[in-house]
Chain A
Amino acid sequence: MLPCTGRIDEALLLAAFENGADGVMVIGCLEGDCHYISGNIRARARVERVYKILEQIKIGPDRIRMYNLSAGEGERFASYANAFVDQVRNLGPSPINLVRSTNAQSAVQTAVQGEAT
């Protein structure tokens, strides 16, 4: 949990993949509704950069995604989380994890949440 998605940077997002994440969700406030004015817009740009990197290095861009939610949207959060997990499940384990160990249980995801309360 972070004060704002504006805190997350590309290096940390990539570190999650290095540490075995098959997918990364970044969840911030609704656009235009950022508790810190523009943090989620910054985060979106960084997520887009990581998206491109993942595409270029063939890890798969669809393993990262940013979602925007308000504090009252628990249901929607759940449906986003489920949809994203399904999406990552369909993609299968990240090539990193495939390589690392066929025995290792593939972790499904780590969620990075930006919560502004």
Chain B
Amino acid sequence: MITGTPKPIEEVLEMLEPYDNIIVAGCHGCVTVCRVGGEKEVQVLASTIRLAREAAGNKINIKEVSLERQCDPEYVESMRPYVGDYQAVLSIACGAGIQFLAEKFTTTPLLPGINTGFLGVTERQGEWAERCQGCGDCVLHLTGGICPVTRCAKSLFHGPCGGSVRGICEVDKEIKCGWQLIIDRLKALGQMENYGKLKPYKGWSSARDGGPRRIIREDMIS
């Protein structure tokens, strides 16, 4: 899922300074699951903003909405009837959702309420970790199912580097060396021969380096 963290409230308040009538929009997708942008967070954030603003003698009116997903046009359209009644929308969906709103509602400023994080997994309740960078060219079959691009701090294809000590990355004690994980896994799978092969240079064009990406599947376009 796409993860994120709440923006510091001071930053949000600063963004909102010019406005006194806004929408706080949550998303029922990934950000609900990672507990940063669901209906409950809409309530908490809206309450927090109202309190802060009223205390500062600068009351703000907030409409609280939570879209099924902010990344699908039909759901986004459901806001259209009333979005014009507000000065701005503070979205706590991921960056994709926020932009999609901005794209659809061209006259309304869209403000981010969260910092979008990464494509990750829930390691346990309250702890998420990155697993994929969406490079568009998956090599997981060669690396024991562990992504060298994401899991190695240097995205090395022939790791580990000298900074790997006892399975820990030199960058941070909390980061496991991705290459140690890959090697452990290859060993367990009996696929160490994959390690000994020189990998071709990574083609980054399928990643973000090729410009904003688009997937078109003709068979599905109706």
Contact = CB atoms under 8 A, between A and B. Distances in A.
A11 B55 contact: no
A57 B40 contact: no
A95 interface: yes
Specify the main secondary structure of chain A where it touches its partner: helix
B9 A57 contact: yes
Contacts of A17: 47, 51
**Residue of A17, A57, A58, A99 ringed by the most chain B CB atoms within 10 A:** A57
Interface string B42-57: 0110011011101111
B74 interface: no
B52 A57 contact: yes
B219 interface: no
A14 B13 CA distance: 17
Chain A interface: which size bin? 10 to 19
Nearest to B54: A96
A10 B9 contact: no
Interface in B98-138: none
B218 interface: no
A43 to B, nearest CB: 15
A31 interface: no
A14 B55 contact: no
**Residue of B9, B47, B52 ringed by the most chain A CB atoms within 10 A:** B47
B44 A99 contact: no
A59 B44 contact: no
A95 B48 CA distance: 13
B47 A14 contact: yes
A18 B220 CA distance: 49
Given A14-B44, A17-B47, A57-B52, 15 more contacts: A9-B40, A11-B40, A11-B44, A14-B48, A18-B47, A53-B9, A56-B8, A56-B9, A57-B13, A57-B48, A57-B51, A57-B55, A58-B52, A95-B55, A100-B54
Interface of B: 8-10, 13, 40, 43-44, 47-48, 50-52, 54-57
For the complex of A and B, 4 pairs with smallest distance between CB atoms:
A95-B55, A57-B52, A11-B43, A14-B47
Interface of A: 9-11, 14-15, 17-18, 53-54, 56-59, 94-96, 99-100
